[in-house]
Each structure stands twice: as structure tokens, then as C-alpha cells.
Amino acid sequence: MTQTSDSVTWLTQEAYDQLKAELEYLSGPARVEIATKIAAAREEGDLRENGGYHAAKEEQGKQELRVRQLTQLLEKAKVGEAPAATGVVAPGMLVTIAFDGDPDDTMTFLLASREYASADIETYSPQSPLGRGVADRKIGEEATYELPNGKKATVKILEVKPYTG
């Protein structure tokens, strides 16, 4: 679970440990694996037409970007507890909304940084249009946010509770 302010990312101990383990893997064994792939592809000859070499170099670039992202995130991270059940939308909370106030058209999502996104629950960043729109709202309140097409959408906050994983 993460809670993001401008300079600090709050993580549960579990999330911190998970991200630290990913960083350690990418910084160690994964670097060795990609270097081996690049070396093997380089031995195949002409690098201009070597698809395996270019794919491995692209993979290496993505991996190094992720290492930098994780390093920066963990440098600023603070380990803390799950947010309290206050009924106010904040990072680390599961939020259920109704679109246009229609109780049959609802969605539940986790408001958290993308580093905590999982396949189990849809996750919206506090910096996303929906995240900014619902932040600090209470159960029963309405929130308006801008859609990608420039139109406005209104949602009603139905439920807010701490995400417990």
C-alpha cells in the first residue's frame, strides 16, 4: 500500500520489502542475464541486422530505467501503517464510486501509486484525473474530474475503506 505526497512515498513494510527485492534482482541476477544475452547476440556477427542484439539492448534499457525508478522511490520511501478508516478518500484506500450517481454503475479501485498496482484490483494514481477528483472527498460526496476527451464526469463516493491487501 502506498501513500504519495509530493516528496515522500509511504509504503507498508510488505510493499517496501517487495519493491526492494525487485530492485535487488534487477540490480544483480537480471543484469548478469541481460549481459549474457547481449554477449551471445554480439557473437552472431553484424549488429546492424541482428534482431536478438537489438531486442536485448532494448530490454536492458527498460530494466535500467526500472532500476532508477525503484532506487528513487525507495530513497524517499517511509514505511508506515495502513491509513485509518476515516471515510475520507486518500492514498491507500479502496474507493467505491457510482458514475453519475447511478447506484447500478459502480466501480471499486485502489487509490495508490502505480508501484503498488496489481492484477487483483484496479489501481488509480492520486495524480490521475480520477484520483485528484476524488481525493479528500467523504462518503456521500460527489466529485468531478476531466475525461481524456476533455468532458467532465461526476461520480459519487459510495464507500471508502483501508486496503488491507
Please indicate, yes or no, whether residues 16 and 55 belong to a single structural domain of this protein: yes
Does 149 map to a domain? yes
87 φ/ψ angles, rounded to the nearest 5 degrees: 80, 10
Give the domain CATH number at 99: 3.10.50.30
Q: Is 58 helix (H, G, I), strand (E, B) or coil?
A: helix
Instruction: List pLDDT tens digits, range 28-71.
Output: 999 999 999 988 888 887 777 788 888 889 999 999 999 998 88
154 φ/ψ angles, rounded to the nearest 5 degrees: -120, 135
| Domain final residue, candidates 57, 79, 101 | 79
Please indicate, yes or no, whether residues 150 and 117 belong to a single structural domain of this protein: yes
Q: What is the pTM (predicted TM-score) of this model?
A: 0.55
The confidence score (pLDDT) of residue 45 equals 77
Low-confidence ranges of the chain (pLDDT < 50): 1-7
| CA dist., res. 45 & res. 53, Å (int) | 10
| CA dist., res. 3 & res. 15, Å (int) | 11
Please indicate, yes or no, whether residues 73 and 103 belong to a single structural domain of this protein: no
The confidence score (pLDDT) of residue 35 equals 92
The confidence score (pLDDT) of residue 76 equals 76
The confidence score (pLDDT) of residue 165 equals 61
Does 37 map to a domain? yes
CB 1 within 8 A of CB 15: yes
The confidence score (pLDDT) of residue 117 equals 60
Does 65 map to a domain? yes
Residue 140's domain comprises 93-162
Please indicate, yes or no, whether residues 37 and 66 belong to a single structural domain of this protein: yes
The confidence score (pLDDT) of residue 3 equals 44
The confidence score (pLDDT) of residue 21 equals 93
| CA dist., res. 3 & res. 79, Å (int) | 10
**Number of compact structural domains in the chain:** 2
β strands within 2-92, DSSP E:
2-4, 9-11, 77-79
Length of the chain counted residue by residue: 165
CB 92 within 8 A of CB 11: no
| CA dist., res. 77 & res. 98, Å (int) | 33
